[in-house]
Amino acid sequence: MAEILPIKAWLYNDTLKSKIEELTAPLFDVVSSRQRELLYQNPLNSIHLSVPSGPNPVQKALETLEQWKSEQVILQDEKPGIYVYYQFFRLPGEHDFRCRKGFIAQIKAYDWSEKKILRHENTIVHAVNDRIDLLKTTQIQASPTHGLYEDPENRLEKYMDEAMQNPIYELEDYQGVKEVLGLIQDPEIITEFLEVLKDKTVILADGHHRLEGAIQYRKEMNGALPEAKWKGFDYHLMYLTNTNGNHLKILPTHRIFKNLAMGEQEFLSELKKWFEVKKFHDQEELGIYAFHKPWSYGLLIGEESYLLELKPEKFDLIPSNYPEIIKKLDLAVLHALVFDQILGIPLEEQRSSENISYERNFSRCIHEVQSGKASFAIITRELELSQVLEVCRSGYVMPQKSTYFYPKALGGLLFASIKQEEFEFDYGAFFK
Give the model confidence (pLDDT) of 153-200 as tens digits.
Answer: 999 999 999 999 999 999 999 888 999 999 999 999 999 999 999 999
- Note the pLDDT of residue 377: 97
Architecture of domain 4-249+406-430: Alpha-Beta Complex (3.90)
The partner residues of 359 in beta bridges, in order of sequence, read 254
Beta strands in 160-219 (DSSP E): 169-172, 178-184, 202-206
pLDDT tens-place string over residues 203-232: 998 888 899 999 999 999 999 999 999 999
- Note the pLDDT of residue 123: 64
CATH class (in words) of the domain with range 253-381: alpha beta
Instruction: Please name the amino acid found at residue 232.
Output: G
Within 10 angstroms of residue 143's Cβ, the number of other Cβ atoms is 28
Please state the domain extents for the chain.
4-249+406-430, 253-381
CA angle 357, 358, 362 (to 5 degrees): 120
CB contact set of 422 (below 8 Å; sequence gap of 6+): 8, 76, 139, 232
Using omega within 30 degrees of 0 as the cis cutoff, is the peptide bond preceding 80 cis?
no
Q: What percent of the chain lies above the pLDDT cut of 90?
A: 69
Tell me the average pLDDT of the chain.
Answer: 91
Between 59-73, 117-131, 138-152, 310-324, the lowest mean confidence (pLDDT) is in 117-131
Q: Do domains 4-249+406-430 and 253-381 have the same CATH topology?
A: no
Beta strands in 24-174 (DSSP E): 74-76, 82-89, 98-108, 117-118, 140-141, 145-149, 169-172
Element (H, E) at 132: helix 125-138
